[in-house]
Amino acid sequence: MKGVELYGRVRHAVQIEGLRRREAARRFGIDPRTVAKMMVFSVPPGYRRGGAPKRPKLDPFTAIIDQMLESDRTGRSKQLHTSKRIFERLRDEYGYGGGMTIVKDYVHTRRQRQREVFVPLAHPPGHAQADFGEAWAVIGGVERKIHFFAMDLPHSDVCPYRKLDSVRNDSLNAESGQHFAPCWGWQNCYGIAWSRWPSRPERTCL
Protein backbone atom coordinates (compact mmCIF):
# COMPACT_ATOMS: atom_id res chain seq x y z
CA MET A 1 0.00 0.00 0.00
CA LYS A 2 1.28 3.46 -0.91
CA GLY A 3 1.94 5.89 1.92
CA VAL A 4 0.23 9.20 2.63
CA GLU A 5 3.42 11.13 1.81
CA LEU A 6 3.64 9.60 -1.66
CA TYR A 7 -0.03 10.37 -2.24
CA GLY A 8 0.63 14.01 -1.43
CA ARG A 9 3.68 14.26 -3.68
CA VAL A 10 1.92 12.64 -6.63
CA ARG A 11 -1.20 14.77 -6.25
CA HIS A 12 0.94 17.91 -5.97
CA ALA A 13 2.87 17.00 -9.11
CA VAL A 14 -0.30 16.46 -11.14
CA GLN A 15 -2.61 19.12 -9.73
CA ILE A 16 -0.14 21.92 -8.93
CA GLU A 17 2.81 21.36 -11.25
CA GLY A 18 0.56 20.32 -14.12
CA LEU A 19 2.41 17.06 -14.75
CA ARG A 20 0.62 14.48 -16.85
CA ARG A 21 -0.35 11.29 -15.12
CA ARG A 22 1.96 9.10 -17.18
CA GLU A 23 4.84 11.49 -16.51
CA ALA A 24 4.06 11.38 -12.79
CA ALA A 25 4.01 7.59 -12.94
CA ARG A 26 7.50 7.57 -14.47
CA ARG A 27 8.82 10.12 -11.99
CA PHE A 28 7.66 8.20 -8.93
CA GLY A 29 8.07 4.71 -10.34
CA ILE A 30 4.44 3.64 -10.02
CA ASP A 31 1.75 2.37 -12.36
CA PRO A 32 -0.37 4.98 -14.20
CA ARG A 33 -3.48 3.28 -12.82
CA THR A 34 -2.14 3.94 -9.33
CA VAL A 35 -1.76 7.62 -10.21
CA ALA A 36 -5.37 7.68 -11.42
CA LYS A 37 -6.50 6.20 -8.11
CA MET A 38 -4.46 8.79 -6.20
CA MET A 39 -6.33 11.52 -8.04
CA VAL A 40 -9.61 10.11 -6.71
CA PHE A 41 -8.51 9.49 -3.10
CA SER A 42 -6.54 12.17 -1.22
CA VAL A 43 -5.26 9.51 1.22
CA PRO A 44 -4.80 5.74 0.81
CA PRO A 45 -8.31 4.21 0.95
CA GLY A 46 -7.04 0.98 2.50
CA TYR A 47 -8.33 -2.47 1.78
CA ARG A 48 -11.95 -2.62 0.72
CA ARG A 49 -13.82 -5.89 0.41
CA GLY A 50 -15.68 -6.10 -2.87
CA GLY A 51 -18.48 -8.25 -1.48
CA ALA A 52 -19.55 -10.49 1.34
CA PRO A 53 -17.28 -13.49 1.98
CA LYS A 54 -18.41 -16.74 0.37
CA ARG A 55 -19.43 -19.55 2.72
CA PRO A 56 -20.37 -22.45 0.45
CA LYS A 57 -21.17 -24.82 3.30
CA LEU A 58 -23.08 -22.35 5.46
CA ASP A 59 -24.82 -20.07 2.95
CA PRO A 60 -27.64 -22.56 2.15
CA PHE A 61 -28.51 -22.58 5.87
CA THR A 62 -28.29 -18.88 6.80
CA ALA A 63 -32.01 -18.32 6.25
CA ILE A 64 -32.75 -21.15 8.71
CA ILE A 65 -30.39 -19.62 11.28
CA ASP A 66 -32.00 -16.20 10.84
CA GLN A 67 -35.42 -17.75 11.44
CA MET A 68 -34.18 -19.37 14.67
CA LEU A 69 -32.72 -16.10 15.91
CA GLU A 70 -35.89 -14.22 15.01
CA SER A 71 -37.98 -16.67 17.01
CA ASP A 72 -35.64 -16.13 19.98
CA ARG A 73 -36.63 -12.47 20.12
CA THR A 74 -40.12 -13.38 21.27
CA GLY A 75 -39.31 -16.60 23.15
CA ARG A 76 -38.47 -17.21 26.78
CA SER A 77 -34.90 -16.73 27.93
CA LYS A 78 -34.50 -20.41 28.88
CA GLN A 79 -35.61 -21.45 25.40
CA LEU A 80 -33.18 -19.28 23.44
CA HIS A 81 -30.84 -20.95 20.99
CA THR A 82 -27.15 -21.08 21.81
CA SER A 83 -24.65 -21.28 18.98
CA LYS A 84 -24.02 -24.91 19.86
CA ARG A 85 -27.74 -25.71 19.82
CA ILE A 86 -28.15 -24.05 16.41
CA PHE A 87 -25.23 -26.08 15.08
CA GLU A 88 -26.72 -29.30 16.43
CA ARG A 89 -30.12 -28.56 14.88
CA LEU A 90 -28.58 -27.74 11.53
CA ARG A 91 -26.60 -30.97 11.61
CA ASP A 92 -29.37 -33.27 12.85
CA GLU A 93 -32.45 -31.75 11.23
CA TYR A 94 -31.17 -30.14 8.03
CA GLY A 95 -28.10 -32.17 7.07
CA TYR A 96 -25.51 -29.45 7.62
CA GLY A 97 -22.01 -30.84 7.09
CA GLY A 98 -19.80 -27.89 8.01
CA GLY A 99 -18.01 -27.00 11.22
CA MET A 100 -19.35 -25.30 14.32
CA THR A 101 -16.94 -22.32 14.31
CA ILE A 102 -18.39 -20.76 11.18
CA VAL A 103 -21.90 -21.16 12.62
CA LYS A 104 -20.81 -19.55 15.86
CA ASP A 105 -19.25 -16.58 14.03
CA TYR A 106 -22.36 -16.05 11.92
CA VAL A 107 -24.67 -16.20 14.93
CA HIS A 108 -22.49 -13.70 16.81
CA THR A 109 -22.57 -11.26 13.86
CA ARG A 110 -26.34 -11.52 13.47
CA ARG A 111 -26.97 -10.98 17.16
CA GLN A 112 -24.73 -7.93 17.18
CA ARG A 113 -26.79 -6.41 14.39
CA GLN A 114 -30.00 -7.09 16.27
CA ARG A 115 -28.63 -5.14 19.23
CA GLU A 116 -27.71 -2.04 17.22
CA VAL A 117 -29.01 1.19 18.71
CA PHE A 118 -29.38 4.33 16.63
CA VAL A 119 -29.22 7.69 18.36
CA PRO A 120 -31.04 10.56 16.61
CA LEU A 121 -28.62 13.16 15.32
CA ALA A 122 -29.64 16.74 16.12
CA HIS A 123 -27.82 20.02 15.60
CA PRO A 124 -29.45 22.88 17.52
CA PRO A 125 -28.75 26.45 16.35
CA GLY A 126 -25.56 27.84 17.84
CA HIS A 127 -23.76 24.50 18.14
CA ALA A 128 -20.56 24.20 16.18
CA GLN A 129 -17.45 22.15 15.66
CA ALA A 130 -14.05 23.80 15.43
CA ASP A 131 -10.53 22.63 14.76
CA PHE A 132 -7.10 23.75 13.59
CA GLY A 133 -4.79 22.32 10.99
CA GLU A 134 -1.96 22.93 8.62
CA ALA A 135 -1.62 22.38 4.90
CA TRP A 136 0.61 23.19 1.97
CA ALA A 137 -0.60 25.99 -0.30
CA VAL A 138 0.74 27.92 -3.26
CA ILE A 139 0.62 31.66 -2.53
CA GLY A 140 2.05 34.06 -5.07
CA GLY A 141 3.64 31.17 -6.91
CA VAL A 142 5.49 30.00 -3.79
CA GLU A 143 4.62 26.79 -1.98
CA ARG A 144 4.46 27.26 1.77
CA LYS A 145 2.96 25.66 4.83
CA ILE A 146 -0.03 27.53 6.23
CA HIS A 147 -2.05 27.25 9.42
CA PHE A 148 -5.82 27.47 9.29
CA PHE A 149 -8.83 27.57 11.56
CA ALA A 150 -12.04 25.82 10.43
CA MET A 151 -15.52 25.87 11.92
CA ASP A 152 -18.57 23.82 11.01
CA LEU A 153 -22.11 24.96 11.82
CA PRO A 154 -24.17 21.78 11.22
CA HIS A 155 -27.56 23.41 11.75
CA SER A 156 -27.09 25.85 8.86
CA ASP A 157 -24.62 23.65 6.94
CA VAL A 158 -22.06 26.47 6.85
CA CYS A 159 -18.34 25.76 7.08
CA PRO A 160 -16.26 28.95 7.29
CA TYR A 161 -12.49 28.70 7.45
CA ARG A 162 -9.59 31.16 7.68
CA LYS A 163 -5.85 31.08 7.13
CA LEU A 164 -3.88 32.16 10.20
CA ASP A 165 -0.67 34.14 10.06
CA SER A 166 0.58 32.14 13.03
CA VAL A 167 -0.65 29.82 15.75
CA ARG A 168 -0.12 32.38 18.51
CA ASN A 169 -3.13 33.16 20.64
CA ASP A 170 -3.21 36.83 19.72
CA SER A 171 -3.18 36.04 16.01
CA LEU A 172 -5.98 33.53 16.43
CA ASN A 173 -8.09 35.97 18.39
CA ALA A 174 -7.61 38.76 15.84
CA GLU A 175 -8.33 36.61 12.80
CA SER A 176 -11.24 34.71 14.36
CA GLY A 177 -12.78 37.79 15.89
CA GLN A 178 -12.72 39.59 12.57
CA HIS A 179 -14.15 36.80 10.43
CA PHE A 180 -16.21 34.57 12.72
CA ALA A 181 -17.51 36.80 15.49
CA PRO A 182 -20.16 38.49 13.29
CA CYS A 183 -21.91 35.17 12.62
CA TRP A 184 -21.42 33.78 16.11
CA GLY A 185 -21.68 36.92 18.22
CA TRP A 186 -18.28 36.30 19.78
CA GLN A 187 -15.99 39.12 20.76
CA ASN A 188 -13.19 36.83 21.93
CA CYS A 189 -12.33 33.43 20.53
CA TYR A 190 -9.93 32.31 23.22
CA GLY A 191 -12.58 29.80 24.27
CA ILE A 192 -12.24 28.05 20.94
CA ALA A 193 -8.46 27.99 21.07
CA TRP A 194 -7.84 26.77 24.58
CA SER A 195 -11.08 25.41 26.00
CA ARG A 196 -13.39 22.64 24.85
CA TRP A 197 -16.01 23.76 27.38
CA PRO A 198 -16.72 27.51 27.10
CA SER A 199 -18.61 29.18 29.90
CA ARG A 200 -21.79 29.70 27.87
CA PRO A 201 -23.54 26.48 26.71
CA GLU A 202 -24.77 27.97 23.45
CA ARG A 203 -21.16 28.46 22.39
CA THR A 204 -20.09 24.86 22.79
CA CYS A 205 -17.33 23.97 20.32
CA LEU A 206 -17.57 20.19 20.12
Position 136 in a domain:
yes
**Does one domain contain both 143 and 197?**
yes
Position 45 in a domain:
no
* pTM for this entry: 0.37
Number of domains comprising the chain? 3
- Rounded-to-5 percentages of helix, strand, coil across the chain: 45, 15, 40
**Which of 48 and 145 is assigned the larger pLDDT?**
145
Confidence of residue 170 (pLDDT cuts 50, 70, 90): low
CA 115 to chain CA mean position, Å: 22
Position 53 in a domain:
no
- The long-range contacts involving 172-175, CB below 8 angstroms and separated by at least 24 positions, are 175/149
**Which of 167 and 88 is assigned the larger pLDDT?**
88
Residue 166 has pLDDT above 70, yes or no: no
Containing structural domain, residue 98: 59-114
Please tell me the distance from the alpha carbon of residue 156 to that of residue 161, in angstroms, as a whole number. 15
Confidence of residue 184 (pLDDT cuts 50, 70, 90): very low
Residue 159 has pLDDT above 70, yes or no: yes
Position 96 in a domain:
yes
Please tell me the distance from the alpha carbon of residue 12 to that of residue 152, in angstroms, as a whole number. 27
Confidence of residue 85 (pLDDT cuts 50, 70, 90): very high
Position 78 in a domain:
yes
The answer to whether the beta carbons of residues 171 and 165 sit under 8 Å apart is: yes
Length, in residues, of the chain: 206
Least confident of 78-82, 125-129, 177-181: 177-181
Residue 182 has pLDDT above 70, yes or no: no
Pairing assessment for the beta strands 129-139 and 161-164 based on DSSP bridges: unpaired
Position 144 in a domain:
yes
**Which of 81 and 153 is assigned the larger pLDDT?**
81
Q: Which residues contact 131 (CB under 8 A, 6 or more apart)?
A: 149, 150
Confidence of residue 75 (pLDDT cuts 50, 70, 90): confident
**Does one domain contain both 109 and 156?**
no
**Does one domain contain both 101 and 147?**
no
Residue 78 has pLDDT above 90, yes or no: no
Burial string for 85-101 (b: 16+ CB within 10 Å, else e) reads ebbebbeeeeebebeee
How large is the average pLDDT for residues 48-57? 74
The answer to whether the beta carbons of residues 58 and 78 sit under 8 Å apart is: no
**Does one domain contain both 33 and 76?**
no
pLDDT attached to residue 111:
85
**Residue 25 exposed, middle or buried by CB count within 10 Å (0-12, 13-18, 19+):** buried
